[in-house]
């Protein structure tokens, strides 16, 4: 059975690899992301969510991407101006609107996704499919655990801030 120190050492190693991964990802984003239509990376995340999950209210979109509704509203306004997202009347509540990707938004998303998939395939070119599937499973598990841990993290940060006041 592993000791607490072994688990913490492993967490440290994973933390270092995650920092390395994020730096490499940021560098790749700068290199490959040419901001067509003048849309920032965060805007593309919102558009992607709308393409994949369908029309949503701003509040639901903000919850889904773990962001503040006012931030999402600003980013959505940019996407609307670029013709990539549109506002539609909510059929369940005429006072509210739904955000939906336009045909141009879906096409841009599909084009960027195809390019991304090509680059990932090239990077993992020497990996056997079994190992690729394992990577997807582990990333999915990590992302799920991060999402599930967020409330605990928020509580711990709030308590830490209280203690330092």
Q: Are residues 27 and 48 in the same domain?
A: no
Q: Are residues 46 and 84 in the same domain?
A: yes
Q: Are residues 66 and 26 in the same domain?
A: no
pLDDT digits (tens, 9 = 90+) for 110-155: 998 998 899 999 999 999 999 999 999 999 999 999 989 988 888 8
Which has the closest alpha carbon to 111: 34, 54, 53, 56? Answer: 34
Q: Are residues 81 and 47 in the same domain?
A: yes
Specify the residue for token string 């730096």.
Answer: 23
pLDDT digits (tens, 9 = 90+) for 29-60: 766 655 666 677 788 889 999 999 999 999 99
Per-residue model confidence (pLDDT) at position 81: 92
Per-residue model confidence (pLDDT) at position 98: 94
Per-residue model confidence (pLDDT) at position 31: 64
Mean pLDDT of the chain: 90
Among 77, 102, 127, residue at a domain's last position: 102
CATH number of the domain encompassing residue 49: 1.10.10.10
Rounded (10°) CA dihedral 30, 36, 37, 43: -50
Domain count, the chain: 2
Q: Are residues 44 and 92 in the same domain?
A: yes
State which residues form the domain around 74. Answer: 37-102
Residue 5 has pLDDT above 90, yes or no: yes
Rounded (10°) CA dihedral 140, 71, 150, 163: 150
């Amino acid at each position: 059975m592993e000791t607490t120190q072994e688990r913490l050492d492993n967490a440290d190693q994973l933390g270092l690899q995650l920092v390395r991964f994020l730096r490499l990802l940021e560098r790749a984003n700068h290199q490959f992301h040419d901001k067509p239509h003048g849309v920032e990376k965060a805007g593309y995340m919102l558009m992607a969510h709308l393409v994949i999950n369908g029309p949503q209210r701003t509040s639901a979109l903000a919850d889904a991407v773990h962001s503040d509704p006012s931030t999402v509203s600003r980013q959505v306004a940019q996407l609307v101006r670029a013709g990539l997202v549109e506002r539609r009347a909510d059929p369940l509540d005429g006072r509210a609107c739904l955000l939906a990707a336009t045909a141009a938004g879906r096409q841009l998303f599909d084009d960027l996704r195809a390019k991304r998939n090509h680059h990932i395939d090239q990077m993992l070119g020497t990996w056997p499919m079994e190992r690729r599937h394992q990577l997807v499973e582990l990333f999915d598990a990590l992302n799920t655990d991060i999402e599930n841990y967020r409330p605990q993290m928020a509580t711990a940060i709030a308590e830490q801030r209280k203690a330092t006041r």
